C-alpha cells in the first residue's frame, strides 16, 4: 500500500449530516470499499432508506488507516476499482495510497447524505419481537433497522510481536498502521521487524533517506517482479475516449490474474513458478550469503506472494542490513538477537501484520436467542458464501470468511457479494418476508465444503500464515477461482434459507421496518 500526506485528509466538517430518523431499512457498518460499494448499488436499485455508520471522522477503511511510506496496491489499478465507477486516468499500473484514497473520496461524494461519521457501533442485537436490528452506538444512542450489513474489514487489528522489552524502546516505536504523520527519518537509524507486504514497501521507500536501515527477517518471503510503470497521457486519453477500451483492458487484466489462481489450487503448477523465481533470485543477488538468506524455504504461495521491483536491490545497499538471527529483546537503544549481537536504532517499525483470523471482539453482534457472532465463531469463522451466518436473521457480511483472494482483486469478490445481497433483498420483497436467515444445514455444508476444498491447495501445504486460523484451517481465502464465486452469487437460492413471512400487509411508510416508536436519541448526530 505510498504514504498519504496529511494535507489531503478531510475532516468531518466537510460532510453534511445525513437525515436522521432513528429507524432505517438498512444500516451498513463501515465506509471502506465494501460499505461504499453497497451504498452505491442500493442507490442504483432505488433503495434510499439506508445509513452507513463510520466510527472515524473520515471514510476509507484500510486505505484511511494505512499511510506508511511506500504504501501502494498490489492489484492493478484498473482492477482495484468498482466496475460501475471506472477511473480512466489512473497514473500508474499499480495505484499508490494517495491515488486510491482520493478515488474513495470520489465514491463517497454521492453518498454524503447517507454517511454518518463518529458513529462507532458497540453492539447490534436482533430483536425477535419487532424483527429488527437494534444498533447501539458508543454515545449511547440506539438506531434500528430491518437489515444489517457489516463491512468490518480484515486489516484493522494489528498483530504486535511478543518481544521482551518492547515497551522500553526510547525512540518512536509503532505498528505500520499507526505511522506518525510528522515523523522525519532523515539521517536516523531505523529498524523494521518483519518482511511481509507492508515491510517490503517501506524498506524500498525509506532506505535512501535513513542513515542505516536494519531489517529483521523471520522467514524469507517469495518476492516476484511487480512490473509497475506509469501510464502515459496517451494511454489515459485512450481509456477515456475509445468506447469500450477501458472495459476490454480491465477484462484482459482480470483474465491474466485469474489464470495465476490455478497455481494456488494445483501445487504442481506453483512448483514451476517457484523454479523461475529462484532462478531470478540467483541472477539478482550475487552475494551467496545474502542469496541464501533471501531464499524461501516454504512452499511458494502458502504465504502471501509479494510483488516488488526493487526490494532485493534495496537490501544490497551499503546502508541496509538484513538480520535473520531471531530477536531476544528490545533495549532502550536498540535490539538484541539470540546470538547476542546488538543493533542500535533510533526508530522501531513493527511491520508484523494483522490478526486476520482473530474473532473480532467489537462490535458484539447478537442474533436469535441472544447468541453472538463471537460465540458462533468460537470453533471456526465461517459464512455461507462469505456473506450469511446461521442464527443471524437479516444480517449480511461483506469481506467475510473465505472471500479473500491470493491472485485477483478482492473488490471483485465484494461486488459479487453486494449483488447477491440485493438478490436476497428482492427475494424477501417478493415473498413479503419478515426475516431471512441461512439454515443451519446450509451453513454447515458451506463450512465443510471450504474445509474440504482448502486441503489440496498450497495454503494448507504445511506453513503457518495469516490465511489460517489457530487450528490450521483456511478461513480467509476462497478455495477456487473468483469466476466461480461470481457465478454462485448471481442468483439467490431460497432453498438454503428460512424466510419468515409477514403477518400483516407491507406498508409504505418508514414505520413498516420496526414496530413501535423510534428510540430517543441520546447522543449527537454525526
Q: Are 336 and 344 in contact (CB under 8 A)?
A: no
Unique residue bearing C-alpha cell 423510534: 518
Cβ neighbours for 471, distance < 8 A, ≥ 6 positions apart: 380
The CATH number of domain 6-157+356-504, selected from 3.30.300.30, 3.50.50.60, 3.90.1150.10, 3.10.20.740: 3.50.50.60
In this prediction, residue 454 carries a pLDDT of: 96
Unique residue bearing C-alpha cell 463518529: 118
- State residue 487 phi and psi, 5-degree precision: -65, -40
Determine the Cα–Cα distance for residues 511 and 9; give it in Å rounded to an integer. 38
Q: Alpha carbon of 477 to those of 93, 255, 468, 485, 496: distances in Å?
A: 24, 19, 9, 11, 22
Per-residue pLDDT tens for 464-482? 888 898 889 999 999 999 9
Q: What average pLDDT score do residues 269-298 get?
A: 96
Domain covering 166-350, topology: FAD/NAD(P)-binding domain (3.50.50)
Q: Read out DSSP for 43-55?
A: HHTT---EEEE-S
Higher pLDDT, 151 or 207: 207
Burial (CB count within 10 angstroms: exposed 0-12, middle 13-18, buried 19+), residue 92: middle
In this prediction, residue 3 carries a pLDDT of: 37
In this prediction, residue 119 carries a pLDDT of: 96
In this prediction, residue 513 carries a pLDDT of: 61
- HSE-up (13 A, CA, CB side) for residue 101: 24
In this prediction, residue 509 carries a pLDDT of: 40
Whether residue 526 is predicted with pLDDT greater than 70 in this model: the reply is no
Sign of the Cα pseudo-torsion (87, 90, 94, 97, in order)? negative
Q: What percent of the chain has pLDDT over 70?
A: 90
Determine the Cα–Cα distance for residues 175 and 199; give it in Å rounded to an integer. 11
User: Looking at the DSSP assignment, which residues form a beta bridge with residue 334?
Assistant: 331, 344
Whether residue 507 is predicted with pLDDT greater than 80 in this model: the reply is no
Q: Are 477 and 411 in contact (CB under 8 A)?
A: no
Whether residue 18 is predicted with pLDDT greater than 80 in this model: the reply is no
Whether residue 524 is predicted with pLDDT greater than 70 in this model: the reply is no
Whether residue 525 is predicted with pLDDT greater than 90 in this model: the reply is no
Any idea where the domains of the chain sit in the sequence? 6-157+356-504, 166-350
Sign of the Cα pseudo-torsion (404, 410, 413, 417, in order)? positive
Per-residue pLDDT tens for 404-418? 999 999 999 999 999
| Grid cell in block for residue 126 | 436482533
Q: Do domains 6-157+356-504 and 166-350 have the same CATH topology?
A: yes
* Closest among 398, 520, 322 to 28, alpha carbons compared: 398
Whether residue 367 is predicted with pLDDT greater than 70 in this model: the reply is yes
Q: Are 72 and 90 in contact (CB under 8 A)?
A: no
Whether residue 75 is predicted with pLDDT greater than 90 in this model: the reply is yes
Higher pLDDT, 526 or 283: 283
In this prediction, residue 158 carries a pLDDT of: 83
Omega before 363 within 30 of 0, i.e. cis: yes
Q: What average pLDDT score do residues 281-292 get?
A: 96
Higher pLDDT, 494 or 360: 494
Unique residue bearing C-alpha cell 517469495: 222
* Closest among 322, 318, 313, 317 to 280, alpha carbons compared: 313
Q: Residue 18 gets which letter from DSSP?
A: P
Q: What average pLDDT score do residues 210-236 get?
A: 97
| Grid cell in block for residue 246 | 477501458
Determine the Cα–Cα distance for residues 36 and 106; give it in Å rounded to an integer. 10
Q: What average pLDDT score do residues 227-237 get?
A: 97
Whether residue 311 is predicted with pLDDT greater than 70 in this model: the reply is yes
C-alpha dihedral, 33 to 91 to 284 to 291, nearest 10°: -30
| Grid cell in block for residue 99 | 491515488
Whether residue 253 is predicted with pLDDT greater than 50 in this model: the reply is yes
User: Looking at the DSSP assignment, which residues form a beta bridge with residue 358?
Assistant: none
User: Looking at the DSSP assignment, which residues form a beta bridge with residue 148?
Assistant: 27, 395
Cβ neighbours for 266, distance < 8 A, ≥ 6 positions apart: none
Amino acid at each position: 500500500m505510498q504514504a498519504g500526506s496529511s494535507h489531503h485528509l478531510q475532516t468531518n466538517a466537510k460532510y453534511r449530516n445525513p437525515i436522521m430518523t432513528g429507524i432505517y431499512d438498512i444500516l451498513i457498518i463501515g465506509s471502506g470499499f465494501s460499505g461504499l460499494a453497497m451504498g452505491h448499488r442500493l442507490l442504483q436499485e432505488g433503495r434510499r432508506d439506508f445509513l452507513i455508520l463510520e466510527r472515524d471522522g473520515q471514510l476509507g477503511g484500510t486505505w484511511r488507516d494505512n499511510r506508511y511510506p511506500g504504501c501502494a496496491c498490489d492489484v492493478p489499478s484498473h482492477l482495484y476499482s468498482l466496475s460501475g465507477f471506472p477511473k480512466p486516468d489512473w497514473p500508474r499500473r499499480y495505484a499508490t495510497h494517495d491515488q486510491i484514497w482520493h478515488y474513495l473520496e470520489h465514491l463517497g461524494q454521492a453518498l454524503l447524505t447517507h454517511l454518518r461519521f463518529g458513529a462507532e457501533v458497540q453492539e447490534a442485537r436482533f430483536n425477535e419481537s419487532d424483527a429488527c436490528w437494534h444498533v447501539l452506538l458508543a454515545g449511547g444512542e440506539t438506531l434500528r433497522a430491518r437489515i444489517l450489513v457489516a463491512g468490518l474489514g480484515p486489516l484493522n487489528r494489528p498483530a504486535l510481536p511478543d518481544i521482551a522489552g518492547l515497551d522500553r524502546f526510547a525512540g518512536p516505536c509503532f505498528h505500520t498502521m499507526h505511522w506518525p504523520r510528522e515523523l522525519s527519518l532523515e539521517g536516523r537509524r531505523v529498524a523494521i521487524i518483519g518482511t511481509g507486504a507492508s515491510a517490503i514497501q517501506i524498506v524500498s521507500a525509506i532506505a535512501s533517506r535513513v542513515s542505516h536501515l536494519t531489517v529483521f527477517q523471520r522467514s524469507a518471503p517469495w518476492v516476484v517482479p511487480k512490473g509497475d510503470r506509469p501510464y502515459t497521457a496517451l494511454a489515459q486519453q485512450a481509456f477515456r475516449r475509445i468506447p469500450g477500451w477501458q472495459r476490454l483492458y480491465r477484462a484482459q487484466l482480470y483474465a491474466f490474474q485469474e489464470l495465476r489462481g490455478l497455481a494456488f489450487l494445483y501445487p504442481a503448477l506453483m512448483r514451476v513458478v517457484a523454479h523461475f523465481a529462484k532462478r531470478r533470485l540467483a541472477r539478482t543477488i550475487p552475494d551467496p550469503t545474502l542469496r541464501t538468506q533471501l531464499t524461501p524455504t516454504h512452499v511458494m504461495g502458502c504465504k502471501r506472494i509479494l510483488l516488488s521491483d526493487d526490494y532485493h536491490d534495496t537490501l544490497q545497499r551499503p546502508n541496509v542490513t538484513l538480520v535473520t538471527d531471531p530477536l531476544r529483546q528490545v533495549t532502550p537503544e536498540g535490539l538484541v538477537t539470540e546470538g547476542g549481537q546488538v543493533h542500535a536504532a533510533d526508530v522501531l517499525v513493527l511491520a508484523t501484520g494483522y490478526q486476520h483470523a482473530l474473532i473480532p471482539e467489537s462490535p458484539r453482534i447478537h442474533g436469535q436467542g441472544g447468541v453472538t457472532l463471537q460465540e458462533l465463531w468460537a470453533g471456526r469463522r465461517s459464512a455461507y458464501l462469505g456473506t450469511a451466518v446461521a442464527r443471524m436473521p437479516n444480517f449480511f457480511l461483506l469481506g467475510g470468511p473465505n472471500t479473500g483472494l491470493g491472485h485477483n482483486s478482492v473488490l471483485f469478490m465484494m461486488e459479487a457479494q453486494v449483488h447477491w445481497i440485493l438478490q436476497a433483498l428482492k427475494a424477501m420483497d417478493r415473498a413479503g418476508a419478515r426475516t431471512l436467515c441461512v439454515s443451519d444445514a446450509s451453513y454447515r455444508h458451506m463450512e465443510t465444503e471450504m474445509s474440504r476444498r482448502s486441503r489440496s491447495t498450497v495454503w494448507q501445504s504445511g506453513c503457518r500464515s495469516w490465511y489460517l486460523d489457530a487450528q490450521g484451517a483456511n478461513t480467509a481465502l476462497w478455495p477456487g477461482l473468483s469466476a466461480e464465486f461470481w457465478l454462485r452469487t448471481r442468483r439467490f437460492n431460497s432453498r438454503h434459507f428460512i424466510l419468515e413471512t409477514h403477518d400483516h400487509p407491507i406498508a409504505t411508510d418508514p414505520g413498516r421496518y420496526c414496530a413501535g416508536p423510534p428510540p430517543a436519541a441520546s447522543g449527537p448526530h454525526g
